[in-house]
């Protein structure tokens, strides 16, 4: 199994100078292959690679459920996924390839209108519903699970909670979009999508593509310790998704869907 953390020599400068070893998060490329053809390369933290590949394919509208997958084969920094004959897209003329960075995923590749064209539907209006006090506890619960972040300070985390504030699943990665893809991929493999009763909690900011991934997975609430972007807010308002940012220090801002949060 590949390491998610390695040690590197550093010169630590405080009051004095000292040569030490420090932990850093691993970032390596992962080649995603679909039905024998190269599809995407993503920069990620090794671990849960099958989940990452399945989650990415789900966010691209290629895989909708576990039943669509005939086989998954892991190689050295590669994942090959074979779809069933019924689910397999026609890739004979496939010229679209993705390169995903750990900072932004497939930057600028989609829009709110593209979500509508892809048939993305609004999540159920009345679920999940969460109490203010429960919502305020989510960041502390998430932070307590970030084992690799504690050693490196270099990873993003994403987690699924239920409305009672109970942690369902958590993943870490150098890419915030990768962490979400791993969550969604695991949920697809477990047959849990759509995730109508789950809350997505993010350790950083909320970008459009993270709202996009949440909507495609059927998630109705996204909360984060950081700020949302303008397009993230616009998308949440358009699709009726609850969006809360700056969830920390006993406060938060609701940008959309306030009816799901009992304040």
Active site residue 104: yes
Cross-sheet strand order for the sheet of 98-100? 69-75, 78-83, 28-34, 37-44, 98-100
Cis bond upstream, residue 107 (ω within 30):
no
Which pairs count as long-range contacts for 215-219, CB under 8 Å and 24+ apart, including other chains? Answer: 215/115, 215/120, 215/122, 215/123, 215/239, 215/241, 216/58, 216/59, 216/61, 216/118, 216/120, 216/184, 217/58, 217/184, 217/187, 217/193, 218/123, 218/193, 218/194, 219/123, 219/194, 219/195
| Catalytic site residue from 6, 18, 104, 107 | 104
Task: Look at residue 258 and give its three-state secondary structure.
Answer: helix
Cα separation values, 203 from 62, 132, 206, 236, Å: 27, 18, 9, 18
Give catalytic residues, as residue numbers. Answer: 104
């Amino acid at each position: 199994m590949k390491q998610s953390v390695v040690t590197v020599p550093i010169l630590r400068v405080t009051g004095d100078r000292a040569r030490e070893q420090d932990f850093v998060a691993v970032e390596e490329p992962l080649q995603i292959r679909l039905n024998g053809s190269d599809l995407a390369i993503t920069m990620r933290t090794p671990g849960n690679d099958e989940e990452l590949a399945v989650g990415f394919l789900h966010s691209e509208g290629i895989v909708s459920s576990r039943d669509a997958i005939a086989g998954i084969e892991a190689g050295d920094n590669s994942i090959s996924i074979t779809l069933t004959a019924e689910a397999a897209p026609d890739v004979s003329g496939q010229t679209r390839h993705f390169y995903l960075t750990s900072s932004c995923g497939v930057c600028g590749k989609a829009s709110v209108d593209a979500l509508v064209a892809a048939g993305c539907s609004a999540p159920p209006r009345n679920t999940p519903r969460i109490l203010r006090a429960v919502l305020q506890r989510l960041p502390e619960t998430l932070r307590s699970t970030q084992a690799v972040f504690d050693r490196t300070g270099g990873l993003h985390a994403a987690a699924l909670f239920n409305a009672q504030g109970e942690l369902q699943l958590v993943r870490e990665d150098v890419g915030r979009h990768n962490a979400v893809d791993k969550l969604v991929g695991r949920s697809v493999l477990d047959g849990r999508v759509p995730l109508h009763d789950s809350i997505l909690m993010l350790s950083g900011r909320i970008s459009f593509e993270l709202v996009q991934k949440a909507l495609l997975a059927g998630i109705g609430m996204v909360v984060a310790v950081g700020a949302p972007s303008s397009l993230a807010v616009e998308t949440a308002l358009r699709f009726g998704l609850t969006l809360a940012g700056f969830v920390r220090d006993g406060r938060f801002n609701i940008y959309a869907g306030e009816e799901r949060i009992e304040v």
